[in-house]
Structure 1
Amino acid sequence: MGIRGKRRRSGDSPSGGADDDHPAPQDWVALNDALLLLIFDRLHSLRDVFVFSAVCRTWRAISLPTFSTLLPFRPPLLLRPVGTPLPSGVPRCRLRRPHRCDLLTPTDPSASYRSIVSRRALSHPFLGYSYGYLIFGGSRPFLANPFTGDEFFPPLLTSDELASFSCAALTAPLSSPDSNLLLCSSHFVLRWRAGDVHWSKHTLELQGTPIRQIITFNGQAFAFLTDDRLFVINFSPYFSMRQLVVPWADGGLQFWIFAPPQLVECDGQLLMVHFSAVKEQMLLSTIRVYRLDGSKMVWTRVDTLGDWALFVDIRGKSTASCSNPSRWGGNANCIYCTGPSCDTWVVLPLDGVVSTMDCQSPLFHNQFYSADIPSPVWMYPSTLF
């Protein structure tokens, strides 16, 4: 999805000649950074950002660290795979591989936009989303930009590097010198940096426990395992993973069902969204949020998100947070949740109860859905990083 602006040469009038009575509009390039940031702050939706960038290309020259501080004030877009319609009576959980994707925005749920990610890309195992790119697996993993259609191909994997990968992520924007592409299996991690001619392989001592999620928080990469263990990933002077022993402040959790816990960065804190079974009612799930207390190294229960909203997908491929959602018509202190076969999303309150048997629930189809088939993910364009 993209919008191109037409640039007029300086001094040209619409009729092709000079017109002193109707001077040409001021060039956007004359705007200083402070004014550009002020305008950007008033753009509540990512669609508005696309329109603005079409007529004002100089906004990309703004310092990215300054620019990225405004990102949490905008909700992410939802990338929704669209499959071939099934015959009447066939369960939606048997959805075929999607042939295209649509983009939806919480600021206008009724509108949708076509993503130009290729059908060929969607035929590959889907491993995750990171910094504006979809990451696909196979014998030659690659990244796809759903806004431009561009595909980026790292080196081919060798025979001893092939595996069933549980997740993948970038540790920084692809253009950053600190960016690492990580592919995670149960027994090793593959690491690739832009410009390298091959992957580096790092054996794991995790008793075969898969890595569920890779997240970057405060400049540090974390690995979250399927048994809820948390590790810090170091790349210098050599690759290593160090476990953080983080107990539960409330003594523990009920086991999760149909949806694994997920890490979310929110307002400078690392949060965990946990769906756990209701005692004696296995068809119901409660929603709890925990915060990593770095001073005591414990998971502490969060009673309120304040003026923030969280965005998660049940498959655990992407998470996000947004401040002051009321500015675009959203709800604070809630979790925007999506999952396989969901047309859009559901808004869940903290400490809410979700049915796992309701066909409209994001939890319902997750129990039947193939792990490598693309499912809805929350995302931001790569140009914003």
Structure 2
Amino acid sequence: MNICYNQRPWADLREELLNIISSNLNIADYLSIGRVCRSWRLFNSEYEDGFMASKSPLVIHISSQAKKACCFHEIATGIKYKTMLPNFICDFKFCLGVSGGYLIMKDTWSQKIWLINPVTGRQFQFSRVRKLSDNIRFSSDRAIFASTGSQDQDFVVVILSCRNQNLEFYTSRNNQWKEYSFKLKNWHILDMVVFCGRIFAITNHSQIGILDLRNFDLKFLTLKFAPRVSSNVRLVTSNNNILIVDYVNVNMIKVYSINVKKMEWVVMNNLGQHAVCVGDGGIISCKLIDPTKWGGQSNCVYVLLNDGCHIHSLKNGEVKTIRKWRWDDKTRMYSWYFFSADNVRGFD
């Protein structure tokens, strides 16, 4: 073996070279370079957010035919990834949502809430008081998981059940479950989102309220000119505002924001360089994205359906399909999947 003593070891590669290497990698390979050595792991951690922002959103898909396998599809390139889930996940029946990089599931027998990161394997478990209504799962049930403070340990899990007419939420600071009931005739909460450490909700009467986590009261904003919304309306957070996406079907989508000064709804016909990801289904996660970083189309709505990914232009209402697929009858769930700071190292 000939040894060249002038060569530098892999761990000492300059940051400029690592940038060149990483810019040509797919997501799975990029997550793998952090396993090479300590210096590469530090590089991976420092530039991970920027790298993930340069990639298109992923679609997560779980089928009962592929036991323990969780599949991901990159919509821009069509690249597929796979990761393995823990054994107990194979028996789960109900996925309530995909939020903050976690699958939110309800255990069929114990009614415990499980949060599992399909990339890292990190998981949380929260016990709940069993109710008679827990024996049935309705399609209107959905859940979110989000940070409520500057520290990682401050978070909230919120479960919305339109059929049972209540909001259940677990706060890490109080380490307990609380409930807000709204048993009113012809009145329902359709969606909720965590924004600036508070829970915002929207009703079927186009009311937008803020849930006070201290006294468990829902206070509504006094807004003018509120339009009638469909049952599939979704709340999406932006950098400094909340967007309301009223999704009827792929051809009928409207996006609104709230003008705080005038306290009224405003139709958003131009999102600038941004776009919104939504879908047809309660558990599908929604998010405001910047598609210009990976060559996607801006000022539009990316719609995830069971036959593929479609784009609805907010400029002219034109709809086009960018990726086709057909989920089988064994599909347990599918949703958008967005990386968070906790999503590291786990793809095969």
Secondary structure of the residue that 2:244 maps to in structure 1?
strand
Matched, 1:294 2:270: no
Matched, 1:146 2:114: no
Matched, 1:22 2:22: no
- Residue 26 of structure 1: CA displacement? 4.4
After TM superposition, which residue ranges in structure 1, 4 or more long, deviate above 4 angstroms? Answer: 35-49, 59-62, 66-74, 194-197
Aligned 1:233-248 pairs, distance under 5 A: 233-236=211-214, 238-248=215-225
CA contact (8 A) 1:273 1:289 kept: yes
In the alignment, which of 71, 89, 92 is matched to residue 121 of structure 1?
89
Using the size of structure 1 for normalisation, the TM-score is 0.68
CA contact (8 A) 2:243 2:256 kept: yes
Q: Which residue of structure 1 lines up, in the alignment, with residue 275 of structure 2?
A: 309
Q: Specify every segment of 5 or more residues in structure 1 that has no aligned partner in the other structure, as ranges.
A: 1-14, 86-97, 278-283
Aligned amino acid, residue 349 of structure 1? S
Q: Distance in 1 between matches of 2:341 and 2:204?
A: 28
Q: Which residue of structure 2 lines up, in the alignment, with residue 4 of structure 1?
A: none
Secondary structure of the residue that 1:248 maps to in structure 2?
coil
Secondary structure of the residue that 2:126 maps to in structure 1?
coil
Aligned 1:330-349 pairs, distance under 5 A: 330-339=296-305, 341-342=306-307, 344-349=308-313
Secondary structure of the residue that 2:10 maps to in structure 1?
coil
Q: Which residue of structure 2 lines up, in the alignment, with residue 167 of structure 1?
A: 142
Q: Which residue of structure 1 lines up, in the alignment, with residue 160 of structure 2?
A: 184
After superposition, the Cα gap between the structure-2 partners of 1:346 and 1:70, relative to the gap in structure 1 and judged at 3 Å, is same
Matched, 1:75 2:75: no
Matched, 1:104 2:73: yes
**1:291-334 Cα distance to aligned partner (Å, 9 max, x none):** 122222222011122211221122143112222x2442311122
Matched, 1:229 2:207: yes
Q: Which residue of structure 2 lines up, in the alignment, with residue 318 of structure 1?
A: 285
Q: Specify every segment of 5 or more residues in structure 2 that has no aligned partner in the other structure, as ranges.
A: none
Using the size of structure 2 for normalisation, the TM-score is 0.74
CA contact (8 A) 1:309 1:336 kept: yes
Aligned pairs, how many?
Answer: 326
In the alignment, which of 233, 250, 272 is matched to residue 261 of structure 1?
233
Matched, 1:378 2:345: no
Q: Distance in 2 between matches of 1:133 and 1:244?
A: 31
**1:21-69 Cα distance to aligned partner (Å, 9 max, x none):** 32323447x96xxx8998899689644642454442225765xxx9868
CA contact (8 A) 1:80 1:376 kept: yes
Secondary structure of the residue that 1:158 maps to in structure 2?
coil
- Residue 141 of structure 1: CA displacement? 1.6
Looking at secondary structure, tell me which structure has more strand per residue: 2
Q: Which residue of structure 1 lines up, in the alignment, with residue 195 of structure 2?
A: 217
- Residue 287 of structure 1: CA displacement? 1.8
**1:115-160 Cα distance to aligned partner (Å, 9 max, x none):** 3235753632111111110101241121121113444221243347
- Residue 262 of structure 1: CA displacement? 1.4
CA contact (8 A) 1:106 1:330 kept: no
After superposition, the Cα gap between the structure-2 partners of 1:155 and 1:115, relative to the gap in structure 1 and judged at 3 Å, is same
CA RMSD of aligned residues (A): 4.4
After superposition, the Cα gap between the structure-2 partners of 1:69 and 1:149, relative to the gap in structure 1 and judged at 3 Å, is closer
CA contact (8 A) 2:223 2:264 kept: yes
- Residue 106 of structure 1: CA displacement? 2.6
- Residue 240 of structure 1: CA displacement? 3.1
Secondary structure of the residue that 1:296 maps to in structure 2?
coil
After superposition, the Cα gap between the structure-2 partners of 1:160 and 1:382, relative to the gap in structure 1 and judged at 3 Å, is farther
CA contact (8 A) 2:180 2:216 kept: no
Q: Distance in 2 between matches of 1:171 and 1:211?
A: 19
Percent of paired sites with the same residue: 19
- Residue 172 of structure 1: CA displacement? 1.0
Aligned amino acid, residue 132 of structure 1? G
After superposition, the Cα gap between the structure-2 partners of 1:52 and 1:320, relative to the gap in structure 1 and judged at 3 Å, is farther
Secondary structure of the residue that 1:177 maps to in structure 2?
coil
After superposition, the Cα gap between the structure-2 partners of 1:49 and 1:304, relative to the gap in structure 1 and judged at 3 Å, is farther
Q: Which residue of structure 1 lines up, in the alignment, with residue 179 of structure 2?
A: 202
